[in-house]
Amino acid sequence: MAISKIRWSAVFLSFIFAAILELNLLPDTLAFLRPEWLVLTLIYWLLRHPEKIGIVTGVVIGLVMDVLSGSYLGIHILSLSLICYLVLTMHKRLKMFPLIQQSVVVFFLVGIQLMVVYTIRSILGVSDIGLTYLWQALSSAVFWPMIVILCDRLAFALR
């Protein structure tokens, strides 16, 4: 099987754009609906190039997310390492799913990632209210097809 070539400029640009979207401030009434852009972008590249993008990339992106969010160092690193492991173990099956089914799996993956983050934050004393993080997972699942289309076009344009 031929391994497709990866354009590192497309990977870098997509992560930069996702980090900019991650920093985008929303009004308080809509803040709970903000998708996890960096997590979605990481899942996309893990599915497209699992031989090149791996857990180390998840650790680096987790460090970036810790710095951007101002949270305790290591929370996002742990959660994204777990997500990378889960995606890498099922990437062959996940690639065969249509986008709607992938969105359902992305909902669960982002939900797991956010559950790990909020659980560790609550253990450390930062109290968050209830299961509102599931709205973020739902909005991430809704935006998943858009991420796939945009990243595919970016990779094709920079080929």
pLDDT for position 1: 40
Residue 69 has pLDDT above 80, yes or no: yes
**Host domain of residue 147:** 8-19+32-157
Give pLDDT tens digits for 89-111: 999 999 999 999 999 999 999 99
**Is 3 contained in some domain?**
no
**Is 89 contained in some domain?**
yes
Q: What is the full DSSP assignment across 28-83?
A: TTTGGG---HHHHHHHHHHHH-TTTS-HHHHHHHHHHHHHHHT--TTHHHHHHHHH
Task: Give how many domains the chain has, as a whole number.
Answer: 1
**Dist. CA 16–CA 10, nearest whole Å:** 10
**Is 2 contained in some domain?**
no
Q: What is the full DSSP assignment across 90-142?
A: HHHHHHHS-HHHHHHHHHHHHHHHHHHHHHHHHHTT----TTTHHHHHHHHHH
Name the pLDDT band for 6 (thresholds 50, 70, 90). confident
Give pLDDT tens digits for 42-68: 999 999 999 999 999 999 999 999 998
pLDDT for position 107: 97
Lowest average pLDDT, out of 28-32, 54-58, 82-86, 141-145, goes to 28-32
Name the pLDDT band for 71 (thresholds 50, 70, 90). confident
Q: Is the Cα torsion angle 109, 71, 36, 138 positive or negative in sign?
A: positive
Residue 2 has pLDDT above 70, yes or no: no
**Is 12 contained in some domain?**
yes
**Is 26 contained in some domain?**
no
